[in-house]
Amino acid sequence: MTRIIQKFGGSSVADAASIKCVARRIAASRQAGNEIVVVISAMGDTTDDLMDLALEVSPQPAPRELDMLLTTGERQSAALLAMALSDLGVPARSYTGSQAGVITTAAHGNAHIIDITPGRIVSSLAGGNVVIVAGFQGVSQTTKDVTTLGRGASDTTAVALASALGADFCEIYTDVDGIFTADPRIVPGARGIPSISYEEMLETAASGAKVLHLRCVEYARREDVRVHVRSSFSDKPGTWVMDVSDSEEEREASMPDMEEAIISGVCHDRSEAKITIAGIPDSIGRAAKIFEIVARADINIDMIVQNASRVMNGRTDLSFTLPMTDGRRATEAIRAAQAEIGFEQLLYDDQIGKVSAVGFGHRYPSVEIWSTSALDQPWRMTHEEIGAVADLLHAMHVAVGPHVPCNEEWHHRPVGVGVPVPWRVNLKLRVSTLAGFEGGTKIYVNTISPAALAARLLPELFRARSAGRIAPMDLGEECEVPRGVLACTRMR
């Protein structure tokens, strides 16, 4: 029996007729022999209406009470869908996020999922029920209060449940027919994309596409959950978001040199704002102080630009973009620290837009080296665990060779952050090709696919091991790890 997570967005359950239509789709899927868990959003504009109501009552509603209010929208639609299924002869149980075992951090309005304990869901499935879970919400591990995961985070709830329940895949039903090369409402010739990699979808979501929530894609990639984006209003095939290494290898076989730029699509985002901090003392640690202040306000930054230092007064300007909805909080936090930072002027502009070209073509070829330690902060690991990563990193540098300039990007869980971030080192090869006629665009593109990069590095690793230039390690098919890994070291 196939276990499927199905998520339906607000536009899919906008009214009673829509809810009945969704119930018929779920019933048909169950009749086909599938186990179904449904994650549902609030009906239509319910969340916006509740927010407007809260602001009428209080100009600055308490975050805890706002979460209590906003989560009622999903609870309403979950109960209504269970009623509709019951009328079709399909037994169904609806649960809130906390009843479903969604455990989160304590940050009201933007909590992160820590764990899922799906005992009640599993019991209900065993009893022959369709399980309906209210999306967008959970319960804090520490305070036991109801929390919300941020706007659009029902996608994240669905993928997290798919991982916790070992589902075969997760279906995201929305009001579009899948992922397109551009917004079809703006670009009539935009084409549907049958399948897209997690990495490309991450970039697409981060660049302004609203089809999938960014954290949902991050979760799907980390847990290797296949996501199927489909329309609630048609039976079109939609788009699969998954590991597409198989298709990469097929493309490699048909085009041996792989000297091509691969662009998946074009995205736009009109919901960003820009903050410019002018006249900052150009000294070590000043930018870090600014970003620390913004991080304490729980605000994500997108793009960062720093001007060259002005020699005459030793000051510089720093600009960054962020979600427009966070603009006020960011400017207030920075302005409150003006004496500490020492800047001269703070400028805010929300009349901007962003256009992004998405795909491997705009990335540098990279090799990621992951630690398998249960810890996610290098300074807490054992000497052997650190040595294993160091051996792999050294081996990759040897395989790449001294003629190729490289950057190392280290990723791990920062101090004071509760969300797990496994330690990994991203080795970027700074090789690229100028795009456009005679390179006139000054845009650089990566012409090496992941499969082609592996084919180039693996023989070098074998030669280096035979010559004793790298530590003893398993290579290629010798590795008992997921495919796509060039080499691994084992604790002995």
CA distances from 7 to 64, 173, 307, 462, 483 (A): 26, 6, 45, 46, 29
Q: Has residue 111 got a pLDDT over 80? A: yes
Give the Cβ contact number of residue 411 at 10 Å: 14
10 Å CB burial of residue 54 (0-12, 13-18, 19+) is middle
Q: Cα separation of 173 and 232, whole Å?
A: 5
Q: What is the pLDDT of residues 460-485, one digit of tens each?
A: 999 999 999 999 998 888 877 665 56
User: How open is the CA angle 450-454-459, to the nearest 5 degrees?
Assistant: 165
pLDDT, position 418: 64
| Predicted TM-score of the model (pTM) | 0.65
Confidence of residue 319 (pLDDT cuts 50, 70, 90): very high
Distance of CA 80 to the CA centre of its chain: 30
Q: Has residue 361 got a pLDDT over 70? A: no
| 3-class secondary-structure state, position 286 | helix
| 3-class secondary-structure state, position 270 | coil
In single-letter form, the type of residue at position 347 comes to L
DSSP at 310: B
Question: Regarding predicted confidence, which is higher, 190 or 226?
Answer: 226
**Residue in the structure block whose two tokens are 């998954």:** 242
DSSP at 128: T
Q: Which residues pair with 387 in a beta bridge?
A: none
Q: Cα separation of 460 and 429, whole Å?
A: 15
Percent of the chain with pLDDT over 70: 86
Alpha helices per DSSP H over 127-274: 154-165, 198-206, 214-223, 245-254
Q: How many CA atoms does the CB half-sphere of 464 hold within 13 Å?
A: 23
Give the Cβ contact number of residue 207 at 10 Å: 19
pLDDT, position 439: 42
| Choice among 35-44, 73-82, 357-366, 450-459 with the minimum mean pLDDT | 357-366
Highest mean pLDDT among 100-104, 310-314, 448-452: 100-104
Is 262 within 8 Å of 206 (Cβ atoms)?
no
Q: Cα separation of 218 and 370, whole Å?
A: 16
